[in-house]
Amino acid sequence: MKVETFHIAAWGEPETGLVIDENDEWVLVKYIPVDYQIDGYKIYKKIFIEERKHSSKEAAIDKEAAIEKVLQLKEVKAEYPEGFNFGSNINLFGSTVHLLRWSEQKYGLFEFQDNNEAEVFYGKISEVTDSLLRIDMVKSDGSVEKKYDYEFEVDEIRAIAFESDYFLSMKLLWQDKMKNNSLQQNL
């Protein structure tokens, strides 16, 4: 079990997670937003990780070591998300677009963050080129804004997340909105 804190380029606050696995491009973690609480998974693009901190043997007790101890006591396992294919070979884990598509296929939508840590985007792929991504954005009420009026640079996406409480809530709101829209169209 290894808990690490990550300093992401252009983000002010570090992020912490239980490392599950990594390859040349990505690090997969069970995300720890605060103290000892695990809330879903995050995948960080390594090119944007400026610093990684793991507990040091010299320190009597530090943040990462304390979290590791609590997670061990809680018998938390460093498990892959169901259906997630990861390996040391980059091709087994995929590109940014591949990861977004995987999340969209599994959950119906994806979540990502780019250089602005305060903004989190939920959506579905509308159009994609080698370098630009346009999404159908899922708003906080579950409604979908088709062809959201912004093109994201694929290479600026720093983190992709799924299975957090908020992510699953967004999924439920989106599914409910889609169901209600479908019912209204059938009337």
Could you tell me if 14 and 102 lie in one domain?
no
**Res 84: pLDDT:** 84
Could you tell me if 50 and 108 lie in one domain?
no
Could you tell me if 99 and 186 lie in one domain?
yes
Which positions of the chain have pLDDT values less than 70? 56-61, 86-94, 183-184, 186-187
Question: Which of these three, 86, 120, 140, is where a domain ends?
Answer: 86
Q: Which of 90, 76, 82, 71 is nearest to 22 (CA)?
A: 90
Map tokens 């320190």 to a residue.
Answer: 59
How does pLDDT run across 39-53, given as a tens digit for each residue?
A: 999 999 999 999 999
Model pTM?
A: 0.91
Number of other CB atoms surrounding residue 125 within 10 Å: 15
How does pLDDT run across 120-130, given as a tens digit for each residue?
A: 999 999 999 88
Q: Quote the domain boundaries for residue 154.
A: 95-187
Could you tell me if 79 and 101 lie in one domain?
no
User: What's 148's domain CATH number?
Assistant: 2.30.30
Q: Which of 8, 3, 1, 5 is nearest to 117 (CA)?
A: 8
Question: Which of these three, 86, 116, 136, is where a domain ends?
Answer: 86
Which residues have CB under 8 Å from 144's CB, separation 6+? 123, 124, 136, 137, 138, 174, 177, 178
DSSP bridge pairs for 8: 49
Q: How many domains does the chain have?
A: 2
Token pair for residue 55? 């507990």
φ and ψ at 169, to 5 degrees?
Answer: -65, -45
Number of other CB atoms surrounding residue 155 within 10 Å: 15
